[in-house]
A and B are shown apart, each in its own frame.
Chain A
């Protein structure tokens, strides 16, 4: 069903992309309006654009600190999760172990559990261990939450690597672990990278645990920090729109750079090739 695209098609496409992007466009345009024009004004463009909202957004709350926290937590989660998950994916796809179905079933079940059902016991653990308001208190649950996704995607990539490569490595006297480290892992690098991006985005976006475990402003991550811009009495839309633009930029850059990889990762679970 591969058709050539006509004029009507491009018009449809432009409308579709516009609708999807509209909230971002509007939020961006609002963020560069002066305070007075935001309230009850539906003008697209302001005649006197300003960056005041950005200055104010960075001043009223430690936005850059939130971003640093999110970055550290997401990076640690990604590194550890990829190491642990690639071990499991390798063992399940390549090594002669039993109960593979059971292991994958457990992993799949773990991806389906609702976070709210484990939240209060984990909150108690983390409190007892003195890990409230720390990076580790979030990284430990995040690794576990991201494991199923990582194992699932990595195993689709590992299984595609031809067996012949391993056999020859074995003939050359490599141990199974050397085969994994020197042959499989490097060959699956694109898949590993794809998985890393998805795990990173998932950890960057997580809200429920971050909200509950790191309650001190110093340790808040971006999603939680931004939801605290609203105060009880006033809603500073200027600050909120500016903060939204600031935190969206890294995501847009990530997506623009790695869109192919992201799509490959997202679809690897659902499409048989």
Chain B
């Protein structure tokens, strides 16, 4: 049966426009802008994933309820084991329980709702659920309580140690466990690890950061410079009608299209000191002392990285510039010829000004790419030998994920971000209007 056609809800053009823009803006805000702000915030903490006391950002003295509840359960459990093994120590054990319970009561009364939160965490632990919610897990505690708690734990630890002297053999193991559980309980108290700008001052005063920065700058300037010069020369030479255009175009696109990591693996093989053909011939022609020098010295390593990048990107640059050259009307050159301008004068006063924007756009995006270089160096040299080919992104990555030092790594990534922002602002000042032209509805 046919339903009568309903009047459908309709958006006006403008509302539709905002609705269509929204998903992109939300994605960019959530996946780019918010994380950059978080990185900046992280960089102000001594934040290390591999150190339980610093594995989160703590602005003020807090307790990790997850660790606390977990260890509290273990401590009571072990106390019962000790009681079974050492029935005559009952009095001391009761004292320990009383002292811990007293601290526990005080803790639950320091803040309204804390008891409920503790219960919730406890229930999750009983169900073997990890407590991922920071809001639930971390609770600020007053300093007096933390001090008193630390004292109690120290006293009880001393009592446990005293019990162990002369304890029967079967009680030694539970007593040792108990001692380490008490010390783990102490680990649930988290000292604030906010350090302000200390990560920045430390790492900006560190030679390795500056080496990485200089390597990055050198890499950017040299590769983009050579790619532009060679790319322009190639573009000028092949800007004519010839047979096999498609084939040439495909050939130059392949290096651009393969993953950088794959290209880096190929070049690791070609530069290898023993089996690498590039290293072999460069040594034979006397360009390097021995074939091993390419990947085992700092200068050789930098050369290898730059060479691989230039190989991968020059063809792409040439294609971009060729497209620019093809938009220049031939009549301009004809007129110049009539006026008696030679080829060089034509190049300077016609070709260059006409492809200025193509050059600037290509250089902008290449320079930003080169400044962020990661995969090529990480796979080709790993930043070695002795960190001499590390770029700033590679160094930041190593701090973040190899040393798990999220505070320092974030500080370096913020430095990369600021450098890139500065670089792009300069470029946009130069070419901004040309980038936007033709894309906005007038």
Binding site for B on A (CB under 8 A): 1-5, 9-10, 12-13, 16-17, 20-21, 23-24, 26-27, 30, 38-42, 84-85, 87-88, 90-97, 100-101, 103-104, 106-110, 112-125, 128, 140-141, 143-144, 147-148, 151-152, 155-156, 159, 175-177, 180, 201, 204-205, 207-208, 211-212, 222-224, 226-227, 229-230, 235, 237, 240-241, 244, 247-248, 251-252, 254-256, 259-260, 262-263, 266-267, 269-273
Task: Tell me, rounded to whole Å, the shortest Cβ–Cβ distance linking A43 to chain B.
Answer: 10
Q: For the complex, give the distance between the alpha carbons of A235 and B275 in Å.
A: 10
A-contact bits for B260-301, CB 8 A (1 contact / 0 none): 111111111110101101001000000000000000000000
Question: In the bound complex, how far is the Cα of B262 from the Cα of A129, in angstroms?
Answer: 31
A20, B258: Cβ atoms closer than 8 Å: no
Option from A176, A177, A271 in Cβ contact (under 8 Å) with B358: A271
Q: Contact between B16 and A95 (Cβ–Cβ < 8 Å)?
A: yes
Contact yes or no, B39 A205, CB < 8 A = no
B341 contacts the other chain (Cβ, under 8 Å)?
no
Residues of chain A within 8 A (CB-CB) of B323 are: 263, 266-267, 270-271
- Contact status of A118 and B375, CB under 8 A, knowing A128-B132, A267-B320: no
| A134 CB → nearest B CB, Å | 16
15 contacts between A and B (CB under 8 A): A1-B333, A1-B346, A2-B241, A4-B241, A12-B237, A87-B21, A114-B420, A120-B39, A121-B34, A122-B35, A176-B13, A180-B20, A205-B257, A251-B258, A271-B323
Output the least CB separation between A117 and chain B (Å).
Answer: 4
Tell me the minimal C-beta distance from B378 to chain A in angstroms.
Answer: 8
Q: Could you tell me if A1 and B239 are in contact, using CB atoms closer than 8 angstroms?
A: yes
Chain B residues in 8 Å Cβ range of A23: 255, 263, 266-267, 270, 311
Q: List, in ascending order, chain A residues with CB within 8 A of B375's CB.
A: 207-208, 223
CB pair A88–B21 under 8 Å, yes or no, is yes
- Which residues of chain A have C-beta atoms less than 8 A from B251's C-beta? 17, 20-21
Contact of A113 among B361, B417, B435 (CB under 8 A): B417
Complex Cα distance, B28 from A88, in Å, reads: 12
Point out the residues of chain B lying under 8 angstroms from A26, CB to CB: 270, 277
Q: B27 and A30: CB pair below 8 A?
A: no
Which residues from B are CB-within-8-Å of A147?
24, 27-28
**Chain A interface: which of B99-107, B168-176, B220-228, B392-400?**
B392-400
| CB-defined contacts of A110 to chain B, threshold 8 Å | 28, 32
Q: How far is the CA of A119 from the CA of B400 in the complex (A)?
A: 9
Instruction: Please determine whether A255 and B400 come into contact, CB atoms closer than 8 angstroms.
Output: no
When A20-B255, A120-B409 are in contact, do A224 and B24 touch as well, CB less than 8 Å? no
Q: Which of B74-82, B140-148, B180-188, B242-250 lies at the binding interface?
A: B242-250
Contact B24–A39 (Cβ < 8 Å): no
Scoring A1, A16, A103, A152 by chain B CB atoms within 10 A of each residue's CB, the highest score goes to A1
Interface contact A271-B31, CB-CB below 8 Å: no
Find chain B residues with CB under 8 A from A5 CB: 240-243
Task: Report A-chain residues with C-beta under 8 Å of the C-beta of B416.
Answer: 114, 116-117
Main secondary structure of the interface of B (DSSP, over half): helix
CA gap between A148 and B58 in the complex, in Å: 35
Query: Inside 8 A of B361's CB, which chain A residues have their CB?
Result: 269-270
Convert B1-22 into 0s and 1s, putting 1 for each residue whose CB lies closer than 8 angstroms to a CB of A.
Answer: 0000000001101101110110
| CB contacts between A and B, total, < 8 Å | 312
- CB-defined contacts of A251 to chain B, threshold 8 Å: 254, 257-258
Contact B368–A112 (Cβ < 8 Å): yes
A17 and B248 contact, CB distance less than 8 A: yes
User: In angstroms, how far is the closest chain B Cβ from the Cβ of A18?
Assistant: 9
Q: A247 contacts which chain B residues (CB < 8 A)?
A: 258-259, 262
Q: How far is the CA of A118 from the CA of B416 in the complex (A)?
A: 11
How many Å from the CB of A124 to the closest CB on chain B? 8
Q: A20-B255, A270-B320 are in contact. Are A109 and B328 (CB under 8 A)?
A: no
B430 on the interface (CB 8 Å rule)?
no
Select B265's contact among A1, A124, A244, beta carbons within 8 Å: A244
Distance from B317 Cβ to chain A, minimum over Cβ atoms (Å):
10
Report Cα–Cα, A4/B250, bound state, in Å: 21
Interface string of B331-366 (1 = CB under 8 A from A): 001000000000000100001000001100110000
Q: A144 and B435 in contact (CB under 8 A), knowing A5-B241, A5-B242, A27-B269?
A: no
- Bound complex: CA A93 to CA B440 (Å): 6
Is the beta-carbon distance between B31 and A255 smaller than 8 angstroms? no
- Do residues B42 and A121 form an inter-chain contact, with CB atoms below 8 A? yes
Distance in angstroms between the alpha carbons of A39 and B320 in the assembled complex: 39
Docked complex Cα distance between A221 and B212 (Å): 28
How far is it, in angstroms, between the C-alpha of A115 and the C-alpha of B400 when the chains are bound? 13
Once the chains bind, are A140 and B10 in contact (CB under 8 Å)?
no
Interchain CB contact under 8 A, A226 and B420: no
Is B200's beta carbon under 8 Å from chain A? no
Closest to A12 in B: B237
Known interface pairs A40-B275, A104-B440, A114-B416. Does A120 touch B327 (Cβ–Cβ under 8 Å)?
Answer: no
Q: Are B24 and A84 in contact (CB under 8 A)?
A: yes
B207 on the interface (CB 8 Å rule)? no
Q: Which residue of B lies closest to A141 (CB)?
A: B31
Structural contact, A177 and B32, CB atoms closer than 8 A: no
Complex CA gap A176/B374 in Å reads: 43
Which residues of B are found within 8 Å of A93, using beta-carbon distances?
439-441
* Among candidates A1, A121, A201, A273, residue contacting B327 with C-beta atoms closer than 8 Å: A273
Instruction: Decide: A144 near B311, CB < 8 A? Known: A1-B239, A92-B440.
Output: no
- Beta-carbon contact of A113 and B267 below 8 Å: no
Residue pair B17, A259 in contact (C-beta under 8 Å)? no
CB-CB under 8 A for A20 and B424, given A117-B413, A223-B259: no
